[in-house]
């Protein structure tokens, strides 16, 4: 008996995704079975945990399993579990909607690129709920029957992959979930195999799901001792936990398949990190460094963390406590032997053993990255391109490992237009007499390289690090040195490029220039007092007329913009305008000021000089229309 069938529409992004699935964005269609088995395994994990936490929950735990059933005549394949199941609201919420914002963003990117294949399309596989949708690559219609543990009524869901699905409440159904695929005809040219074939199912289970800790069962046809055909339920997988096996007992392929199971990534991992701790307390871990960053790496609501088991019993997905946030891209499993099964996220945050595991896992991941840097530079560069911006967050949040992270980080620099450099490599290349590691932050390499601040450093042949990630604006205020060598921004404070001998030799000339320009500097400081705290002569400019610099302890303009974008009010920080005394414009302005004093046009020229310095560093004018009007007037008068 069931209630009336209700027809609902998919969420807009879900409809788009279904169309992509129906038209086969993924060449390896076998992936659908891995995803369905993975979902079934998760449901069994959650049931065992729920039953442990709620002793009153009326559930059957006698024979937890995943079953696969095929029907050649009807061309159907069913994957069934007796796990936690879903309520009606959960079916609508999880299957009718894409809950993960990164998927919607990826769809938009694909539409802009007008592509439905390649890495962007494949990245959709494994997004929250998308693993289920992958079944539409092989099926014309999908039926789902599910009953949540402890509830009396079940829910039937069905769709053929168009804009709608049907849903109804069913009174009689077993606990758990059964997904039935009404398969498309086999098509070898399109890599669409006969998924009712017993040997094909056995092959896929061995390939992708052999490590699942629950039995995956299927009726297998065989002959008895008298040669008669018989069918019996057999377990297809070995159920061996890979993290409990020695490294030399497991092939890279097994590790890769396990990674795809825990991460829902379609690609192989970049690095495999097995770990075993014995002694006061024991745990085993199997961690992976992905090859590519997920679309939601920098979104606030992204899920992170590794899976936590206790004595092979699944406790939780996405255990954030086990690794710091800056290593949120690391995937894998941690199996602790001495924790209580009745553990919550709140308890984990206070647990001493978890804190110790976290420290050891963090050091192990960082040492693995260091090994890549030392022994496999190409793979290190690949990792850093994908995750470097996230790792640099650790320079702020993890002071205990800051020195280790500083050895790992790499940056673009003026030394090589293509290859990045580590701080250690920078220090080894420092010129004789150089006392600082020079850097500049900015939104892009091209903007920094064209900045007036670079002129004197380029002329002196000093290498400058080009820091273009948003996090670079923040950590540089906390990290003052690397292995005893101070870091210095070339856009803050005095340039300080002269040696003691050079300072002594040019002291007389510098004093003369200061006296010569004293009146102009004082006058411009007064005229521009709303915008700058001081106007002074520059030692860092060689070709540009002027540039803006921040005082050594002041917040940079980029930091100001970041705080305001987050809704945090910050006072405007006035900066210092430096003038190049050798530039014709500055020399002409000094002479005109001597002759015409407080001329209105001179004040406007001073304002234009400040505006051009702001634009040269990629800044924003406070009054663009006034600047363009003044510039047009000056150009007209020069004609």
| Three-class DSSP labels, 105-171 | HHHHHHHHHCCCCCHHHHCCCCCCCHHHHHHHHCEEEEEEEEECCCCCCEEEEEECCCCEEEEEEEC
Q: How many CB atoms lie within 10 A of CB 343?
A: 18
DSSP annotation of 492: B
Q: How many CA atoms lie within 13 A of 437 on its CB side?
A: 25
The CA distance from 510 to 557, in Å, is: 30
Known binding residue 101? Answer is yes
94: tokens are 């999880």
Structural domains in the chain, CATH included, are 14-222+230-235 (3.30.565.10), 242-386 (3.30.230.80), 409-489 (3.40.50.11260), 511-550+571-638 (1.20.120.790)
Alpha helices in 322-393 (DSSP H): 345-350, 352-375, 377-391
**Residue 132 marked ligand-binding:** yes
**In sequence order, what are the residues at sequence separation of 6 or more whose Cβ sits closer than 8 angstroms to the Cβ of residue 64?**
44, 47, 48, 82, 83, 214
Whether residue 611 is annotated as binding a ligand: the answer is: no
If DSSP codes are grouped into helix, strand and coil, which group holds residue 195? coil
Q: Copy the structure tokens of residue 327.
A: 């290593």
Q: Are 603 and 536 in contact (CB under 8 A)?
A: no
Instruction: Tell me 10's DSSP state.
Output: P
Is 500 annotated in a binding site? The answer is no
pLDDT for res 97: 57
pLDDT tens digits, one per residue of 383-403? 999 999 999 999 999 999 999
Contact (CB, 8 A) for 102 and 294: yes
DSSP type of residue 85: -
Does 457 appear as a known binding residue? no
**571 burial class (0-12, 13-18, 19+ CB within 10 angstroms)?**
exposed
35 labelled ligand-binding? yes
Non-local (6+) Cβ contacts of 591 within 8 A are none
Q: Which residues of the chain have pLDDT under 70?
A: 1-3, 13, 17, 20-27, 96-131, 341-344, 495-496, 498-506
Q: Is 130 annotated as a binding residue?
A: yes
Distance CA 461, CA 244 (A): 55
- Is 60 annotated to bind ligand? no
With a CB cutoff of 8 Å and minimum separation 6, the contacts of 113 are 120
Tell whether 14 is in a known binding site.
no
Q: Which DSSP category does 440 fall into?
A: E
Annotation-wise, does 284 bind a ligand?
no
Residue 86, marked binder: yes
| 41 neighbors 212 (Cβ within 8 angstroms) | yes
Task: Name the average pLDDT for the chain.
Answer: 85
pLDDT for the residue numbered 426: 97
Instruction: Pull the structure tokens for residue 454.
Output: 């670079």
10 marked as part of a ligand binding site: no
Are 536 and 494 within 8 A, CB to CB? no
Nearest C-alpha neighbor of 214 from the set 231, 235, 198, 245: 235
The pLDDT tens digits of the residues spanning 54-65 come to: 888 878 788 999
* pLDDT the model gives residue 87: 92
Burial 99-133 (b: 16+ CB within 10 A, else e): ebbbbbebbeebeeeeeeeeebbbbbbbbbbbbbb
Q: Which helix (H) or strand (E) holds 501?
A: helix 500-527
Which of 181, 185, 229 minimizes the C-alpha distance to 70? Answer: 181
Residue 107 near residue 12 (C-beta atoms within 8 A): no
State the Cα–Cα distance between residues 338 and 28, nearest whole angstrom. 41
Q: For 153-166, give one letter per residue: b (16+ CB within 10 A) or e.
A: ebbbbbbebeeebe
Quote the CA–CA distance of 317 and 389 in Å, as a whole number.
25
**Quick one: CA dihedral 408, 413, 419, 424, positive or negative?**
negative
Buried b / exposed e along 47-69 (16+ C-beta atoms within 10 A)? bbbbbeeeeeeebeeeebbbbbb
Does residue 564 have a known ligand-binding role? no
């Amino acid at each position: 008996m069931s209630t009336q069938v209700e027809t609902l529409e998919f969420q807009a992004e879900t409809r788009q995704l279904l169309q992509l699935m129906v038209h086969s964005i993924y060449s390896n269609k076998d992936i659908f079975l891995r995803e369905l088995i993975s979902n079934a395994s998760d449901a069994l994990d959650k049931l065992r945990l729920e039953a442990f936490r709620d002793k009153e929950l009326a559930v059957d735990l006698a024979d937890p399993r995943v079953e696969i059933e095929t029907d050649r005549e009807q061309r159907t394949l069913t994957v069934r579990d007796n796990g936690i199941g879903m309520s009606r609201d959960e079916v609508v919420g999880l299957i009718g909607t894409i809950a993960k914002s990164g998927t919607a963003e990826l769809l938009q990117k694909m539409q802009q690129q007008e592509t439905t294949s390649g890495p962007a399309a494949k990245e959709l596989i494994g997004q929250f709920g998308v693993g289920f949708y992958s079944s539409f690559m092989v099926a014309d219609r999908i039926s789902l029957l599910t009953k949540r543990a402890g509830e009396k009524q079940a829910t039937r869901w069905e769709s053929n992959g168009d804009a709608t699905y049907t849903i109804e409440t069913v009174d009689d159904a077993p606990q758990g979930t059964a997904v039935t695929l009404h398969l498309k005809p086999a098509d070898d040219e399109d890599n669409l195999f006969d998924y009712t074939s017993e040997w094909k199912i056995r092959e896929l289970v061995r390939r992708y799901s052999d490590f699942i800790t629950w039995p995956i069962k299927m009726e297998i046809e065989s002959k008895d001792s008298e040669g008669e055909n018989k069918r019996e339920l057999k377990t297809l997988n070995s159920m061996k936990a890979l993290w409990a096996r020695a490294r030399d007992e497991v092939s890279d392929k097994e590790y890769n398949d396990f990674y795809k199971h825990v991460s829902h990534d379609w690609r192989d991992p970049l690095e495999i990190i097995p770990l075993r701790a014995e002694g006061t307390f024991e745990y085993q871990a199997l961690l992976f460094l992905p090859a590519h960053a997920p679309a939601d790496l920098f979104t606030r609501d992204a899920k992170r963390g590794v899976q936590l088991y206790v004595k092979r019993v699944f406790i939780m997905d996405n255990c954030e406590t086990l690794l710091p946030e800056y290593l949120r891209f690391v995937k894998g499993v941690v199996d602790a032997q001495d924790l209580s099964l009745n553990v919550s996220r709140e308890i984990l945050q206070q647990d001493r053993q978890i804190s110790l595991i976290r420290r050891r896992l963090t050091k192990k991941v960082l040492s693995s990255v260091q090994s890549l840097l030392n022994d496999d530079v190409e793979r290190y560069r690949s990792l850093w391109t994908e995750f470097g911006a996230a790792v640099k967050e650790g320079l702020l949040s993890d002071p205990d490992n800051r020195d280790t992270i500083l050895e790992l980080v790499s940056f673009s620099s003026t030394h090589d237009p293509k290859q990045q450099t580590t701080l250690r490599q920078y220090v080894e290349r420092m010129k004789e007499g150089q006392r600082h590691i020079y850097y500049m932050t900015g939104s892009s390499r091209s903007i920094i390289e064209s900045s007036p601040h670079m002129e004197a450093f380029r002329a002196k042949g000093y290498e400058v690090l080009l820091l273009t990630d948003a996090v670079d604006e923040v950590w540089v205020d906390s990290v003052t040195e690397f292995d005893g060598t101070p870091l210095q921004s070339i856009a803050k404070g005095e340039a300080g490029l002269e040696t003691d001998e050079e300072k002594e030799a040019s002291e007389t000339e510098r004093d003369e220039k200061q006296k010569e320009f004293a009146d102009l500097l004082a006058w411009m400081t007064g005229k521009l007092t709303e915008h700058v705290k001081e106007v002074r002569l520059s030692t860092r400019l060689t070709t540009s007329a002027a540039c803006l610099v921040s005082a050594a302890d002041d917040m940079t303009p980029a930091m100001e913009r970041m705080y305001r974008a987050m809704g945090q009010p910050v006072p405007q920080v006035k900066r210092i305008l430096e003038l190049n005394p050798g530039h014709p414009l500055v020399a002409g302005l000094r002479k005109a000021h001597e002759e015409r004093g407080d001329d209105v046009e001179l004040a406007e020229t001073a304002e234009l000089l400040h505006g051009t310095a702001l634009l040269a560093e990629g800044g924003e004018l406070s009054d663009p229309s006034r600047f363009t009007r003044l510039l047009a007037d000056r150009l007209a008068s020069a004609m």
